[in-house]
Amino acid sequence: MNKNLLNIETISEYNDMLGVGTLHPLVSVVDLSKAKPMRHMRHTFSFYTVYLKEVKCGDLIYGRQYYDYQEGTVVCLAPGQVIGIEDNGETFQPKGWALCFHPDLIRGTFLGGHIKEYTYFSYEVNEALHLSLEERGIFVDCLNKISHELEHAIDRLSKRLIATNIELLLDYCLRFYERQFITRENANTDILTRFEALLDNYFESNRAKAEGLPTVKWCASELCLSSNYFGDLIKKETGKTAQEHIQLKLIGLAKEMVLNPERSISEIAYELGFQYPQHFTRLFKKVTGMPPNDYRQQGLTA
């Protein structure tokens, strides 16, 4: 049994491992049901990979709600991410589809300049996209369009059309994720409540003074979410970024503290986790429209 982490460098190398042909060195669409039986492995890719896993999800538990999306699950991986489980000696027949495209394919294209906007490439596998029957049909239709271009003789428009169709597929995934955020509204509300409680506990326990300001990455980790998924969820639910929520919580506490004339602004800044008082003053003015000393003076004379 092989427990080493395998790094797959090229599209051709991955196609060879699956036992399928290579039509283009930088992009591939694979019907996994036609691949040869595989052994489990932990591996990384040097290219982008979008999987449509044809599995029955059944009653998917998310938060306190159940969702029954049985038609397929989409997992998106950016270069360098680890996927898979350790080899247990057994073989299995993969099912579903795989789209692989190398960063060199989209370099210089519109998609190449905007690939970072598809933040779901950095979601965890347990934050995968679950498709309805209709959504699955749209997804596979996009894959078929890409496959058609790969089978067409290469000409001056090939790269543009392939990149455009990949972008179309990724845009549909954005739409489907927005639908998923909506259908999980109750579960998302639960995450928002836990986020607020997490911040309250952090500041009430004086951790800020000892450890500094809470970061979005730390909050996401405490809530068992990836940073990108957490940030997208908060933005979708509230219209504000997770960082803005942390800042608003911080300034809400600061307003009460500033009105105490016996405490210096520097003392308050350090207690709230700022390394430098001037950074606190800058943020306070940005949020309230006035520096903390002016806010204190206005409050004391009101």
Q: What is the pLDDT of residues 160-188, one digit of tens each?
A: 999 999 999 999 999 999 988 888 777 77
For residue range 118-148, list pLDDT tens digits in order. 999 988 777 889 898 899 999 999 999 999 9
When mean pLDDT is compared across 15-19, 85-89, 129-133, the lowest value belongs to: 85-89
Asked if the structure places residue 160 within a domain, the reply is yes
For residue range 222-252, list pLDDT tens digits in order. 998 999 999 999 998 888 999 999 999 999 9
One domain, residues 296 and 154: no
One domain, residues 149 and 233: no
Strand, helix or coil for residue 7: strand
Please give the pLDDT value at position 2.
52
One domain, residues 38 and 172: yes
Query: Of 160, 183, 206, which residue constitutes the final position of a domain?
Result: 183
Asked if the structure places residue 1 within a domain, the reply is no
Give me the number of domains the chain comprises: 2
Structure tokens at 17: 């491992």
How many residues appear in the chain?
302
One domain, residues 34 and 120: yes
Please give the pLDDT value at position 181.
87
**Quick one: average pLDDT of 209-220?**
93
**Quick one: average pLDDT of 25-33?**
94
Helices marked H in the chain — which ranges?
11-18, 103-106, 110-114, 133-151, 158-183, 185-204, 207-211, 216-222, 227-238, 242-258, 265-271, 277-288, 292-301
69 pLDDT more than 90: no
CATH of the domain at 152: 2.60.120.280
One domain, residues 110 and 222: no
One domain, residues 109 and 48: yes
Determine the angle formed by the axes of helices 185-204 and 227-238, rounding to 10 degrees: 110
Task: For the beta carbon of residue 3, count every other beta carbon within 10 angstroms.
Answer: 9
Burial of 151 by CB count in 10 Å (0-12 exposed, 13-18 middle, 19+ buried)? exposed
Task: For the beta carbon of residue 125, count every other beta carbon within 10 angstroms.
Answer: 16
Quick one: CA torsion of 80, 85, 86, 89, rounded to 10 degrees? -130
One domain, residues 147 and 160: yes
One domain, residues 26 and 111: yes
CATH of the domain at 225: 1.10.10.60
Q: Which domain holds residue 255?
A: 186-301
Strand, helix or coil for residue 204: helix
Query: Of 165, 183, 201, which residue constitutes the final position of a domain?
Result: 183
Query: Of 167, 183, 199, which residue constitutes the final position of a domain?
Result: 183
